[in-house]
Amino acid sequence: MVNKFTAIIEKDGAWYIAYCPEIPGANGQGKTIEEAKESLSEAIALILEDRRQDAFRGLPESAIRDEVLVS
Listed by start position, the domains of the chain span 8-56
Q: What is the dihedral of CA 68, 52, 28, 32, to 10 degrees?
A: -40
Given pLDDT bands bounded at 50, 70 and 90, which one contains residue 62?
A: very high
Residue 69, pLDDT > 90, answer no
Q: The domain at 8-56 falls in which architecture? A: 2-Layer Sandwich (3.30)
Q: What's the angle, vertex CA 66, arms to CA 24 and CA 55, rounded to 5?
A: 35
Chain centroid to Cα 10, Å, comes to 18
Cα–Cα distance measured from residue 19 to residue 8, given in angstroms and rounded to the nearest whole number:
5
Is the pLDDT at 55 greater than 70, yes or no? yes
31 C-beta neighbours (distance < 10 Å), count: 10
Residue-wise pLDDT for 5-50, tens only, equals 999 999 999 999 999 999 999 999 999 999 999 999 999 999 999 9
